[in-house]
């Protein structure tokens, strides 16, 4: 072996010291406080447990052996409440160290917000029932409502968004976004937790859908894969925070695959239909049918290579 060759064992002390020195530059990425932010794994586990609360007959934990629904529900609620409260308390600290008095104050606020969230679960379930009906009535390929609950990515993404939106309304930092980005990674459907979505919302297929933070969606809206409900421009960066950047979609609108509807001043009127691949940056009157002019197709014989 050449004298110039280095070993891992011999190099590790120096490499460690180099990285520790790099951590001392005071940049945001240099923070090393443990447990200063919510734990993504705990939040993903909470979503699994919340799914059991929302659909009790579909996602039971086979490890649980209980005699009554009341006992099972109480145990699950306690588990969810305790872990969610802990994560909310961490999130509310904003990654900063706090003294004992402030920590106690934030813990009390986190418990109150946890109770407020759990109180709204019946409301979330009511909305999900309408979403389930919209999916079943809107998709002739659906053989049953059970199939939609268990298998459809659209309903899964909507379920997570409805959970996250309640936390967003309660002004819980970070956790709602962790939830919806997890759903995004699993379903390919990206719905910001700040988006306001009405009843009977149906996502058909769903892959590639993007719904921005300030989007407002009415009742009985149906959107297909590849639809973007986005901002007209984000060139202003953080200066746009808090401003309406995304469109309003009124009741009974259908938006077909690949369409983009952009801008905070853009309103798609009730009962309108937006055709596939349309690019919309201005309001559409109620009842209008918007489509892209048919493109000309060219077909010519080609050489066949087997």
Q: Answer with the one of 188, 205, 239 that is the final residue of a domain.
A: 188
Residue 23 in domain: no
Beta-ladder partners of 290? 274
Residue 95 in domain: yes
Average pLDDT over residues 172-198: 97
Residue 93 in domain: yes
pLDDT of the residue at 234: 62
- Is the CA virtual torsion 199, 200, 206, 209 positive or negative? negative
pLDDT, tens digit (0-9, with 9 covering 90-100), for 199-218: 999 999 999 999 999 999 99
pLDDT, tens digit (0-9, with 9 covering 90-100), for 131-152: 999 999 999 999 999 999 999 9
Closest CA to 262 of 150, 107, 291, 274: 274
User: Do the beta carbons of residue 229 and residue 267 sit within 8 Å?
Assistant: no
pLDDT band for 2, please (50, 70, 90 cuts).
low
Q: Give the distance between the most distant pair of CA atoms in the chain.
A: 79
Q: CA dihedral in degrees (80, 85, 86, 90; nearest 10)? A: 140
- Quote the number of domains for the chain: 2
- Is the CA virtual torsion 140, 144, 146, 147 positive or negative? negative
User: Residue 218's domain is classified under what CATH number?
Assistant: 2.160.10.10
The verdict on 239 and 117 lying in the same domain is no
The verdict on 121 and 259 lying in the same domain is no
H or E segment and range at residue 279: strand 279-280
Distance CA 136, CA 138 (A): 6
Say yes or no to pLDDT of 60 above 80.
Answer: no
Residue 288 in domain: yes
The verdict on 174 and 74 lying in the same domain is yes
Say yes or no to pLDDT of 67 above 70.
Answer: no
The verdict on 105 and 226 lying in the same domain is no
pLDDT of the residue at 122: 96
User: Residue 102's domain is classified under what CATH number?
Assistant: 1.10.3130.10
pLDDT of the residue at 35: 62
The verdict on 136 and 249 lying in the same domain is no
Distance CA 1, CA 191 (A): 56
The verdict on 131 and 211 lying in the same domain is no
Hey, is 164 helix, strand or coil? helix
Q: Answer with the one of 126, 161, 188 that is the final residue of a domain.
A: 188
The verdict on 114 and 202 lying in the same domain is no
Task: List the strands of the sheet with 267-268, edge to edge.
Answer: 196-197, 216-217, 248-249, 267-268
User: Do the beta carbons of residue 78 and residue 130 sit within 8 Å?
Assistant: no
pLDDT of the residue at 58: 82
Residue 14 in domain: no
Q: Answer with the one of 138, 156, 188 that is the final residue of a domain.
A: 188
Residue 220 in domain: yes
The verdict on 184 and 202 lying in the same domain is no
Quick one: tokens of 17?
């010291």
Beta-ladder partners of 280? 261
The verdict on 137 and 254 lying in the same domain is no
Task: Quickly list H helices, the chain.
Answer: 8-23, 40-54, 69-92, 100-119, 121-138, 145-151, 153-169, 175-187
Residue 5 in domain: no
Average pLDDT over residues 271-300: 91
DSSP 284: B
Show the domain range for 200: 195-292
Contacts 24+ apart (CB under 8 A), 36-39: 36/90, 36/93, 36/95, 36/96, 36/97, 37/90, 37/91, 37/95, 37/174, 38/87, 38/90, 38/91, 38/174, 38/175, 38/178, 39/87, 39/90
Residue 119 in domain: yes
Task: List the strands of the sheet with 279-280, edge to edge.
Answer: 190-191, 210-211, 228-230, 260-262, 279-280
The verdict on 83 and 136 lying in the same domain is yes
Hey, is 44 helix, strand or coil? helix
Average pLDDT over residues 265-276: 97
The verdict on 50 and 180 lying in the same domain is yes
Angle between helical axes of 153-169 and 40-54 (0-180°, round to 10): 110
pLDDT of the residue at 64: 60
The verdict on 171 and 208 lying in the same domain is no
Distance CA 59, CA 75 (A): 15
């Amino acid at each position: 072996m050449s004298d110039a060759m280095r070993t891992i064992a011999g190099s590790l002390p120096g490499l460690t010291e180099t990285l520790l020195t790099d951590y001392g530059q005071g940049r945001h990425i240099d923070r090393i406080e443990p447990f200063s932010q919510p734990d993504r794994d705990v939040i993903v586990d909470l979503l699994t447990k919340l799914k059991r609360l929302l659909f009790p007959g579909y996602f039971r934990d086979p490890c649980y052996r209980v005699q009554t629904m009341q006992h099972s529900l109480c145990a699950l609620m306690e588990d969810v409440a305790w872990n969610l409260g802990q994560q909310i308390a961490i999130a509310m600290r904003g990654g900063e160290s706090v003294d004992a008095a402030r920590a106690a104050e934030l813990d009390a606020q986190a418990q109150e917000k946890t109770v407020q969230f759990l109180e709204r679960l019946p409301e979330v379930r009511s909305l999900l029932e309408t979403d389930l009906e919209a999916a079943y009535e809107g998709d002739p390929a659906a053989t049953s409502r059970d199939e939609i609950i268990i298998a459809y990515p659209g309903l899964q993404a909507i379920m997570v968004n409805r959970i996250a939106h309640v936390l967003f309304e309660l002004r819980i930092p970070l956790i709602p976004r962790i939830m919806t980005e997890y759903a995004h990674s699993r379903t390919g459907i990206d719905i910001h937790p700040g988006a306001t979505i009405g009843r009977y919302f149906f996502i058909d297929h769903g892959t590639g859908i993007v719904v921005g933070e300030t989007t407002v969606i009415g009742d009985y809206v149906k959107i297909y894969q590849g639809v973007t409900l986005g901002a007209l421009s984000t060139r202003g960066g953080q200066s746009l925070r808090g401003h309406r950047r995304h469109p309003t979609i009124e009741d009974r609108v259908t938006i077909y695959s690949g369409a983009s509807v952009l801008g905070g001043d853009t309103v798609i009127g009730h009962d309108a239909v937006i055709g596939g691949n349309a690019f919309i940056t201005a309001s559409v009157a109620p009842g209008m049918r918007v489509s892209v002019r048919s493109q000309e197709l060219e077909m010519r014989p080609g050489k066949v290579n087997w």
